[in-house]
Amino acid sequence: MDLQNPTPDLLMAAYQQGVFPMADSRTGELMWLSPDPRAVLPLDGLRVSRSLARVIRSERFELRRDTAFERVMRECAAPRSGREETWIDERLVRAYVQLHELGLAHSVEAWRDGELVGGLYGVHVGAAFCGESMFSRPELGGTDASKVCLVHLVERLREGAFQLLDVQFLTPHLERLGCIEVPREDYLDLLEPALRRWGSWSPSS
């Protein structure tokens, strides 16, 4: 098994063990991580501020799912102010796009005036959704777009009887939205029962 060239089968086996890949932008090595602690967003613990609620009510963004998966990945990988390096390389783009084509990876997208201004993507494994990355394009009117996508994601996961939303690492941005850290062993205890069920990504279809 070549750990430096991920396939859909390898990715799914890794996620089922609580492991995910990141590329080292300096060495090119693909690292397989299982952080301790692990960040999760309890599906009943999402915190929506008043300002974010106003943005959602304004309907300034058109939200779509799975219409531009690869573009979302590439936007997440694109250099930003203060972050010139990325952990998403072409190997990962290729492998996750294949997962998406198999119905095992999904994107939520925010569009405004025909432009993709924000989004997120992740992997669907059992009744768990493993969030990978998110982005916003404020220069295109996409301020708060990734947050709106996350709110939509949580609503979708709740409707589809998902049990777990993994966000990997805690950031101040995610903490304000209700994400918490749990010990790795506790995360694996949450993952195990989620793997025995199947969340519906499109419960209304």
pLDDT single digits (tens) 159-168: 999 999 999 9
Dihedral-angle region of residue 126 (phi above 0 means left; psi in -120 to 50 means alpha; beta otherwise): left
What mean pLDDT do residues 129-153 have?
96
Measured in whole angstroms, how far is the alpha carbon of residue 130 from the centre of its chain? 6
CA dihedral of 92, 156, 64, 106, whole degrees rounded to 10:
20
Give the CA distances from residue 45 to residues 36, 39, 94, 118, in Å, rounded to whole numbers and listed in that order: 21, 13, 33, 23
Cβ(109)–Cβ(65) below 8 Å: yes
pLDDT at 205: 35
Q: Which residues pair with 133 in a beta bridge?
A: 121
What number does CATH give the domain 35-195? 3.40.630.70
Q: At what angle do helices 90-101 and 69-77 cross, to 10 degrees?
A: 160
Name the DSSP letter for residue 29: P
Pairwise CA distance, residues 18 & 32, whole Å? 10
Domain map (residue ranges) of the chain: 35-195
| Whole-structure pTM value | 0.94
pLDDT single digits (tens) 173-193: 999 999 999 999 999 999 999
What residue has token string 């190997």?
91
Cβ(128)–Cβ(163) below 8 Å: yes
pLDDT single digits (tens) 9-48: 999 999 999 999 999 988 989 999 999 999 999 999 999 9
Dihedral-angle region of residue 66 (phi above 0 means left; psi in -120 to 50 means alpha; beta otherwise): left
Q: What secondary structure does DSSP assign to 78-89, as a single string?
A: S-BTTB---S--
Task: Indicate the residue type of 57.
Answer: R
